[in-house]
Amino acid sequence: MKAVKLSVLRLARTAGLFRLFRWLSRSKVRILCYHGGNMGDERRFNSLLFCQAGLLEARLQWLQDKGFSIIPLDAAVTMLGNDRPRPRLPTVLTFDDGWYSTFRGLHPVLERRQLPATLYLCTGYFVAGRPNLDVTLSYILWKAGRAQANIQGFDAGVDGAHDLSTSAGKKRLAGAMLRWLEQNGASRAGVCADLERFAAQLGVSAAELDLASRRFDFVRPDELLQMASQGWSIELHGHVHQYPVGRPDELKADLARCQAEIGKVGLPMARHYCYPSGDHDADAHQLLRNLGVVSATTCIPGLLERADERQRFYLSRFLDGENIHPLEFESEMSGFADFLRRLAGRG
């Protein structure tokens, strides 16, 4: 199916349709989303979450060759609310979560090109100062590649025989281990030792897991400040990585905590939000506006011409990554993919 899609896109590009749609949509704003960089084999484990610096490099080169203008998020949001002249093909670069690998691998790519970007920081993981437990546990189970396991030395929920042949089985073990770590984990070193002990029982060595590289950690305050001083705006991705659907008081507390943690580092008040995992409800715009937030991005692809008081809380964004073929990226950024979606919607 993907091969058919790529053939169609190749034909469209050869016929000059990408160029035509770039011209037709030259005033529309694009928002791109990335997550972490790649420091080992993480991109094979999760191609949406971790991408090589070379991929970002190639994307930015294409955008610059085709005359896209990389602009800050704040400027784009202002732009969407007025009719003033715009730079050609205005594009915003956003990065979610706050992975150390974003700082280590992707930030230098932007620095070399002197491009602005936005980091939507999930402050819970940031202040935890240890590897992201969810992702590290999923990685261990992926790396182990086992259909069965016998774990010992934790608690009744973790210990014993586990069927890992299904994703439900893997999820059950990861969930039990996560709970154990949250109850027992202390320092970063202690958590890493526990993760290594767990991984070893699944046949994954400490060297393979390579927690010392910090590939599953988040940025530290000094690294965040360095990014901010080099053109990154640090914005809101919640304190916990979850939008509390239907629970406005929780949203308020979560955003206040996220803003406070960013403020503690000495950074300006963060006012742009990114829905964790794209989840939101129909009242989100009212709730966020009341909390002083000025925009929010989703995970729904599309180009943006204008955004009124409501629409700026549901901004389209394209999730790029190792799982996206260069032709799909070009089609999306040229506005051809948006045209196809509209066509399909009407048909």
Residues in contact with Zn ion by the rule CB under 5 A: 96-97
Measured from the CB atom, is 97 or 194 closer to Zn ion?
97
Q: How far is the CB of 96 from Zn ion (least distance, A)?
A: 4
Kindly state the tokens that stand for 82: 């007025």
Q: Which is nearer to Zn ion, 29 or 274 (CB)?
A: 274
Residue closer to Zn ion by CB (options 18, 275) is 275
Q: In the complex, what is the shortest distance from the CB of residue 112 to Zn ion, in angstroms, rounded to a whole number? A: 25
Kindly tell me which of 180 and 232 has the beta carbon lying closer to Zn ion. Answer: 232
Find the residue with minimal CB distance to Zn ion: 96
Contact (Cβ atoms closer than 8 angstroms) between residue 22 and residue 334: yes
Q: Least CB distance from residue 274 to Zn ion, whole Å?
A: 7
Cβ–Cβ < 8 Å for 270, 259: yes
- 270 and 237 in contact (C-beta within 8 Å)? no
Q: Cα torsion at 115, 121, 126, 131 (round to 10°)?
A: -80
At closest approach, how far in Å is the CB of 337 from Zn ion? 23
What is the smallest separation between the CB atom of 276 and Zn ion, expressed in angstroms?
Answer: 5
CB of 301 to Zn ion, least distance (A): 17
Tokens of 83: 């009719």
Which 3 state secondary structure label does DSSP give 315? strand
Helix, strand, coil shares, percent, the chain, to 5: 50, 15, 35
CA angle 295/319/115 to nearest 5° reads 70
d(CA 90, CA 84): 13
Between 119 and 307, whose beta carbon lies closer to Zn ion?
119
> Position 306: which residue type?
R
Tell me how many degrees the CA angle 115-341-49 measures, rounded to the nearest 5: 45
Q: Which helix (H) or strand (E) holds 274?
A: strand 272-274
Backbone angles phi, psi at 297, to 5 degrees: -110, 145
134/159 with CB nearer Zn ion: 134
Nearer to Zn ion, 36 or 90 (CB): 36
Nearest approach in angstroms of CB 131 to Zn ion is 16
